A and B are shown apart, each in its own frame.
Chain A
Amino acid sequence: MTAWRTVFTYNKYAQITARALRNSLKEEERIIAEKRGLTTVRYQKWENGAGGQQVVLNEVKQ
């Protein structure tokens, strides 16, 4: 049961179980729920007090 401990973090484990639950919902609820699992990531590197270019890693279409 805790074989995954060496491979990923608890956060990742929680996300995996949540995703599995969302996949099992009935049609209408599943469509709403799947949106909750999507994350857009945007990062920006700061140097000498100035922010660099904002880079979007993962654009999620709402």
Chain B
Amino acid sequence: MSSLRIIRSAARKAATFSVARRGYADISEKLNLSLALPHKTIFNSQDVVQVNIPAESGDMGILSNHVPSIEPIKPGVVEVIESGGTQKFFVSSGFATVHPNNKLTINVVEGAPLESFSLDAVRSSLQEALKVASGNGSEAEKLEARVEADVYESLQYALGK
């Protein structure tokens, strides 16, 4: 598994160094982003500069000319950086796919801008979930509560920053 990651990061580095004049601050080439939920499309083939995604294998920043890859998304913040400003969305889980032609599609089950969340609701839900997770229910119930608690912790951190 770690060798795959080394190969993958090497491939990523190879993609960025193959074009000699390209630098990380180069915004002349845009990334085409589509961010979709089952019930709503947040971005539809829009040109952005950079997208930060919370991948299961670690937080990643996707720029133009990224090597094609498919990344599972863990509950966390997707940050979209455009030339005009930055937007942050908290998403539940899904997949991010970088296509060969500078296109990034992120499909998640649920997501909302950070402003739509209530820190109080997160805190109280986290308390309840931790109680169940360390309680004496069945293994399945405790693991479910642990998954929920991870989401609330991640959300609490994102709202607190």
Using a CB–CB distance below 8 Å, which chain A residues touch chain B? 1, 3-4, 7-8, 13-27, 29-30, 33, 36
Using a CB–CB distance below 8 Å, which chain B residues touch chain A? 39, 56, 74-75, 90-94, 109-112, 116-118, 121-122, 125, 129, 139-140, 143-144, 146-148, 150-152, 155
15 interchain pairs, CB-CB under 8 A: A7-B139, A8-B144, A15-B109, A16-B144, A17-B110, A17-B148, A17-B151, A21-B91, A22-B110, A24-B121, A25-B116, A25-B117, A26-B121, A30-B121, A33-B110
Known: A17-B92, A18-B110, A36-B39. A23 touches B125 (CB 8 A): yes
Residues in B whose Cβ lies below 8 Å from that of A26: 116-118, 121
Would you call B93 and A24 a contact (CB within 8 A)?
no
Residues in A whose Cβ lies below 8 Å from that of B109: 14-15, 17-18
Known: A8-B140, A29-B116. A21 touches B147 (CB 8 A): no
Residues in B whose Cβ lies below 8 Å from that of A23: 121, 125
Q: Contacting A27 at CB < 8 Å: which of B118, B139, B150?
A: B118
